[in-house]
Amino acid sequence: MKRERTSSRGRGLWIAVTAAALMTGFGTASAQDKAPAGATMAPAQTSSDSKDIRLYGFSSGALTLGKGALVNFAPMEPTITVPVGFYVVKHPKGNILFDTGNNDKLITDPNWWGKANAAMKPAMTPEVAIDVQLKKIGLTPDDIAYVVPSHLHLDHGGNVGKFPNSTIVVQKSELMNALWPAPGTGNSYVIGDILPLRSSESTYPNAQKMVLLEGDLDLYGDGSIMIKRWVAHTPGSQMMVVKLKNRGPTILTGDNVYFRENVEKNIPPNLVLAYNPQGFFTAFEWIRTMMATEKADFFTAHDPDAFKAMKKAPEYYD
C-alpha cells in the first residue's frame, strides 16, 4: 500500500480554477498538477475522446423508509423502498467510482449500522457486494483509478475502504466531519467505514493516495470529468459532471438531490438532512441552468422511479 503525504499530488490531476468554469461549460483552463489553486493557468489538455467514456449505474441494495425522511412534508407512511445508487465511469484516462454504496459488511453483519439499521432497513445480498457488481462490467477494485464519494454517509462512503490501490478524491471538510462531526451532523457516518483511510503509522495520516479537495477539480484537465464542491447535504458534499458524447453532460448529484422533483419543483429535502439548506436551492438552480443551457441531465442515488427508468450495468450511457 503506497503512502503519500500531500493530498494534492495525485498523478495527472489538474485543479479546476473557478466555479465559473463549470457553469460556462467544459474545456476550461486548469492549473497544472502540483500547482496551488490560483497559480498561473496552463492551457487545457487535449480533450478525452468522449466517445470512449461510458457511465454505468448500480445499486448497493435497497433502503426502506418514510419518504418524509427525505423530502420535506412528504408522508412517512406508507414507507417506500429506494435504491442506493452508485456509478462507474469507464474513462480512457482511468476509471472512476462515484459513491461506494453501503458497506458490504452489512451482508453478514446487520448490526454494522447500529441504530440506523432500524431506521433505514438496508436489504443487501451477496450479489450486491461492490466487487461482485464491478465484475459485471469486467472490472476489479484495482481497475478503479479514482474513488469519488459524493459525501461519506453510510450509504455513500460505506465501501470507501475497499479500494486501497485507488486514489480517494474527497472534500477535506467532509473527511473531517465524518471523523469528528459538527453537532447534529454525526448520525449518518459510520466511523468504521472511514477508518481504513487512516494510516496506522503516525508519520503520514493517509493509508492510501488521497486528494483532499477544498473546491472543484477538473479531474483529467480536459473538462470530461468535473468534480464540483457544493455544501448542502453535508459540509463537504460534491457532485460530479461526466461529459458524455451522446447523452450530454450528466450530473451525479449524490444526496444534494434525492428525487427528480426536488430539482423540477424546487422542493427542499427534509431539513433535518440539510447541513446548509440554502445550498440545496442553489444546487437545484445550477442543475436547472445546466439543463437549460448545456442540455445536461442528472442522476441521483435514491430516486426509485428514476432508477427504475435508468439503464443499469452492464448497460451503459455514452
Q: Which residues bind Zn ion (CB under 5 A)?
A: 153, 255
Report the candidate in 20, 15, 18, 49 with the shortest Cα–Cα distance to residue 30: 15
CB atoms within 10 A of CB 306: 19
**Shortest distance, position 301 Cβ to Zn ion, whole Å:** 8
**Shortest distance, position 153 Cβ to Zn ion, whole Å:** 3
Nearer to Zn ion by Cβ, of 99 and 222: the residue is 99
CB atoms within 10 A of CB 157: 29
By beta carbon distance, the residue nearest Zn ion is: 153
* Grid coordinates given for 284: 437545484
Nearer to Zn ion by Cβ, of 255 and 303: the residue is 255
**Shortest distance, position 42 Cβ to Zn ion, whole Å:** 35
Nearer to Zn ion by Cβ, of 120 and 313: the residue is 120
Q: What one-character DSSP code corresponds to residue 71?
A: B
User: What does the alpha-carbon distance between residue 35 and residue 144 come to, in Å, rounded to a whole number?
Assistant: 25
Strand partners, 42: 30
Nearer to Zn ion by Cβ, of 244 and 301: the residue is 301
Nearer to Zn ion by Cβ, of 26 and 86: the residue is 86
**Shortest distance, position 91 Cβ to Zn ion, whole Å:** 25
What phi and psi, each to the nearest 5 degrees, are found at residue 117? -60, -45
**Beta strands of 142-300 (E only): which ranges?**
144-148, 167-171, 210-213, 217-218, 225-229, 238-244, 248-252, 297-299
Nearer to Zn ion by Cβ, of 153 and 229: the residue is 153
Q: Is 206 helix (H, G, I), strand (E, B) or coil?
A: strand
Q: Is 32 helix (H, G, I), strand (E, B) or coil?
A: coil
**Shortest distance, position 254 Cβ to Zn ion, whole Å:** 7
**Shortest distance, position 192 Cβ to Zn ion, whole Å:** 17
